[in-house]
Amino acid sequence: MKKRWGKGEPVNLSDLLRITPVANEVMLIAEELDISAADILWIAAQIIENNEEVSSHNKMYREEQELEDEWEEFDLEAIEDEIDQSLYMINVKITSGGRFPEVGFKAGVNDKEDISYFFEMIIEMLDKLE
């Protein structure tokens, strides 16, 4: 029904029959609560907007879960064995009150120069999480 007609154009009867009960309900609620129909519609718009935000949040949560599932599929033992054979071992644990209360990183580094790149990567990741 979105944008099917403009101001002054005739309304399709089936569309009118679908809209009329909703309009009647809005008018009844406005009368019962002694507020304007515009206020009722504004409240409805806020509820819809809030619902969209919740849906967006749920979508992000599902995507995060999918990423976690992908990480679980990796052969973590092989990765840990490779890390253990490195010259330098780095363990970083960061706790905060943000979206991710605890984030941990573990890496094996063979060259000292690579350590600075590793920490730069961690800082970039933390900036993205904020």
Residue 118: enclosing H or E segment and its boundaries? Answer: helix 112-129
Q: What are phi and psi of 118, to 5 degrees?
A: -60, -45
Contact 107, 90 (CB under 8 A): yes
Which residues are 107's β-sheet partners?
Answer: 90
Class of residue 101 by CB neighbours under 10 A (exposed 0-12, middle 13-18, buried 19+): exposed
| pLDDT, mean of residues 46-55 | 79
Beta bridge partners of 103: 94
The answer, as to whether pTM is greater than 0.85, is no
pLDDT tens figures, 61-107: 888 877 777 666 666 666 666 666 767 778 888 787 777 777 777 77
Q: Is residue 66 exposed (0-12), middle (13-18) or buried (19+ Cβ within 10 Å)?
A: exposed
User: Measured between alpha carbons, how far is 88 from 18 in angstroms, rounded to an integer?
Assistant: 69
Q: What per-residue confidence (pLDDT) applies to 90? A: 80
Nearest Cα neighbor of 92 from 74, 112, 64, 119 is 119
